Copies of this chain bind each other. A is one copy, B any other.
């Protein structure tokens, strides 16, 4: 299987995959342990809390979370049932709707944040020095930009 990737890069690739998988499940477990939130729930709350008016269009939210549309619908419905967000139809474009952070949602986020951030620190960040953090930022911001661009390009057939 060394068909076209140098051994060094293969090693990097495998380490990245496995560790990331472990990290995500670990954070998910931690979060569930000391709050009533999922990682997805938490992420939604963070994004909404930072948005102007603490509200976001469904599509925008889906794109940032890297969720399929139907998955986001389900996710928001679930959070709505628990009172963490509300749904409002969008004033400018009546086709769409937006998710709005509720007081309960903000409270839940404020309660969960310290635990979650501690989790991120102990499992990941505390082991990294500044140079490593800088490297990760550079690599993954570039990667993110690139993948976003690729996706936009493929959804827009972009005639010549």
Q: Which residue of B lies closest to A26 (CB)?
A: B147
Q: How far is the CB of A142 from chain B (nearest CB, A)?
A: 6
Contact of A22 among B109, B130, B147 (CB under 8 A): B147
Question: Per DSSP, are chain A's interface residues mostly helix, strand or loop, or mixed?
Answer: helix
Residues of B with C-beta under 8 A to A15: 136-137, 140-141, 144
Indicate if A23 sits at the interface (CB-CB under 8 A). Answer: yes
- How far, in Å, is A64 (CB) from chain B's closest CB? 7
Number of interface residues of A (CB under 8 A): 57
Residues of B within 8 A of A20 (CB): 20, 140
- Chain B residues near A120 (CB-CB < 8 A): 5, 13
Q: B residues within 8 A CB of A130?
A: 8
A81 at the interface (CB under 8 A from B): no
CB-nearest residue of chain B to A46? B1
The answer to whether A123 and B137 touch (CB under 8 A), given A3-B117, A4-B114, A4-B117, is no
Cβ–Cβ < 8 Å partners of A146 in chain B: 123, 127
Q: Which of A19, A118, A123, A142 has the most CB of B within 10 A?
A: A19
Is A158 an interface residue, CB under 8 A from the partner? no
| With A1-B109, A16-B140, A22-B147 already in contact, 9 other A-B pairs whose C-beta atoms are closer than 8 Å | A1-B50, A4-B117, A4-B118, A5-B120, A13-B120, A13-B125, A20-B140, A23-B143, A23-B147
21 contacts between A and B (CB under 8 A): A1-B49, A4-B121, A5-B120, A5-B121, A8-B133, A8-B134, A9-B128, A9-B133, A12-B136, A13-B120, A13-B124, A15-B140, A15-B144, A19-B140, A19-B143, A19-B144, A21-B66, A22-B148, A23-B147, A127-B143, A127-B146
